[in-house]
Amino acid sequence: MDAREREVVETIAGRERELVDLLCALIGFDTTATVEGEAREAAALQSLIAGRLEGAGFGVETWEPGPSALPADRMGFDPSYSFAGRPQLLAFRPGTGGGRSLLLNGHIDVVDPAPRDRWTSDPFRADVRDRRVFGRGAADMKGGVAAMIVAAETLAALDPPLAGDLLVNTVTDEESTGAGSAACVARGIAADGGLIAEPTGLSTWLGARGSLRATITVEGRAGHAGLTQPHWSAGGAVNAVDKMAIVQGALERLAREWRDRHATTHPHLAPGGIAVTGISADAWMVSLPGRCTLDCHLQYLPAQADQSGWGAPVEREVEAAVLAAARTDSWLREHPPLVSWSDDVPASVVEPDSPIVQAALAAAGAVGDVPRIARETTFFDGPTFTRAGTSTIALGPGHIVHAHAVDEHVTIDQLVAAAQRIAITAMRFCNSTGRSEHGAARPRSALA
Ligand SMILES: [Zn+2]
């Protein structure tokens, strides 16, 4: 580290109390994501962030995307999707010129803390104990949001020369749909590189697998459960749950094959997989069910996707495997299972030699940590930006295993280390040259 970097790192260390206080304040806002898209306290939280960054000299804008803000594609956003009461925020600080622009992004929504009675402390009142901050969102990812705000404020206050623009973008609707960042991309928010302070435990995530959701329906023939049934061709009842077991076996075999198929594995992503998330066959307690439905969540790798990154080839492969298994059974051959698909979230990954990854890994080395790239990642907004041209990684405080869990927490040491890491990444990335064509795009309204 040079003298300026050391000054930034030491200043952030000295702001530990302030960083913890900011995280505690953020946890105090109930920003629980709901399927219906309730507003809750998202606007109040965004206005706190707006005040902080305005105070630090950033130009700040918040807005509620309109009904036509989201793309009509396989992600399957509802055309009447509403952001009422859930504004997005962009803060902008121009660079001195000639360097790369950096986007810092974080989501302010959190998942429901249920079962609430299992928490040691109130999930919406932060509790600081054992040098940890407990509360819903402490790890995922109000801790990361607090770290990137303190990093941005420190850079603005100490004012080391930053050639590239610095953008801070806080969004809603990540936990439910990813719509907040999708609306920001649609508005033109872009940079030469992006960093999302998700709880990666300070390692670097290069991207995420794509995901699909399928519902498979198998028809049977309802009948009395207490009778010895004749063969179906002689009019006997057919238990749809038994027939669904054949489909499940096919899905398990396919998932195993994905794990072992070298052509589709990836050095920086876990293999694709298929998880059954629900099964139902509503029938009277002494009736053989005449219909069974199975929900599953599938994850796929870039090599399994089509040229645009979508999972259509995976859908065809799953359908073929299900139908092949169905042909081994006389009833299913005549009554093939129906596979229907809902949303598709595309796979995307940043190349490890890209400038944003190199800056993040170098920043880890600069503060005396071992640079790490994690292979196990979950959905995050990075691919939304990466696919639109802003190569975006995740790097932040807290461990992903504490996300969505009871007694979610982050250590104060990781909070401070993440803020330092983000600031050094910004200094190295924004002062490197070789800008891509994706310069920072200002929002369409007036900013400083
Ligand atoms: Zn998250």
Quote the pLDDT of residue 163. Answer: 95
Quote the pLDDT of residue 438. Answer: 53
Cis ω for the linkage preceding 115 (within 30 of 0): yes
Q: How far, in Å, CA of 174 to CA of 169, rounded?
A: 13
Quote the pLDDT of residue 68. Answer: 84
Ligand 1 center from residue 299 Cα (angstroms):
17
Ligand 1 center from residue 153 Cα (angstroms):
22
Q: How far, in Å, CA of 270 to CA of 285, rounded?
A: 41
Closest CA to 10 of 431, 430, 424, 398: 424
Q: Which amino acid is at 188?
A: G
pLDDT level of residue 435 (50, 70, 90 thresholds) = low
pLDDT tens-digit readout, 132-179: 999 999 999 999 999 999 999 999 999 998 999 999 999 999 999 999
Q: Which amino acid is at 230?
A: P
Q: What is the mean pLDDT of residues 285-310?
A: 94
Ligand 1 center from residue 383 Cα (angstroms):
13
Ligand 1 center from residue 137 Cα (angstroms):
8
SS3 346: coil
Q: Are 207 and 349 in contact (CB under 8 A)?
A: yes
Ligand 1 center from residue 94 Cα (angstroms):
27
Quote the pLDDT of residue 67. Answer: 79
Cis ω for the linkage preceding 141 (within 30 of 0): yes
Ligand 1 center from residue 141 Cα (angstroms):
5
Q: Which residues contact 10 (CB under 8 A, 6 or more apart)?
A: none
Question: Is residue 436 scored above 60 in pLDDT?
Answer: no
The domain 210-345 is classified under which CATH number: 3.30.70.360, 2.60.120.10, 2.60.120.460, 3.40.1160.10? 3.30.70.360
Quote the pLDDT of residue 264. Answer: 78
The CATH number of the domain covering residues in 3-206+350-430: 3.40.630.10
Proportion of the chain above pLDDT 90, given as a percent = 86
Nearby residues for ligand 1 (ion, Cβ within 5 Å): 140-141, 198
What pTM does this model have? 0.91
Question: Is residue 81 scored above 50 in pLDDT?
Answer: yes
**What amino acid positions are annotated as catalytic residues?**
109, 174
Query: Where are the domains positioned within the chain?
Result: 3-206+350-430, 210-345
Backbone Cα Rg of the chain: 24
In this predicted structure, which of 49-58, 299-308, 328-337 has the lowest mean pLDDT?
299-308
Ligand 1 center from residue 161 Cα (angstroms):
31
Sheet holding 88-93, edge to edge: 59-63, 88-93, 166-171, 102-107, 193-196, 392-394
Question: Is residue 442 scored above 60 in pLDDT?
Answer: no
Q: Which amino acid is at 117?
A: D
pLDDT level of residue 445 (50, 70, 90 thresholds) = very low
Question: Is residue 446 scored above 70 in pLDDT?
Answer: no
Ligand 1 center from residue 380 Cα (angstroms):
6
| 404 burial via Cβ count (<10 Å: 0-12, 13-18, 19+) | middle
Question: Taking all residues of the chain, what is their mean pLDDT, rounded to a whole number?
Answer: 94
Ligand 1 center from residue 441 Cα (angstroms):
24
Q: How far, in Å, CA of 311 to CA of 303, rounded?
A: 10
Ligand 1 center from residue 140 Cα (angstroms):
5
Q: What is the mean pLDDT of residues 72-95?
A: 93
Quote the pLDDT of residue 36. Answer: 85
pLDDT tens-digit readout, 168-199: 999 999 999 999 999 999 999 999 999 999 99
Quote the pLDDT of residue 443. Answer: 47
Closest CA to 166 of 50, 62, 53: 53
The two structure tokens encoding residue 234: 């002689």
Ligand 1 center from residue 179 Cα (angstroms):
13
C-alpha distances in Å from residue 172, one per residue of 88, 305, 316:
7, 27, 33
Question: Is residue 55 scored above 90 in pLDDT?
Answer: yes
Quote the pLDDT of residue 440. Answer: 55
Question: Is residue 439 scored above 60 in pLDDT?
Answer: no
Q: What is the mean pLDDT of residues 121-131?
A: 97
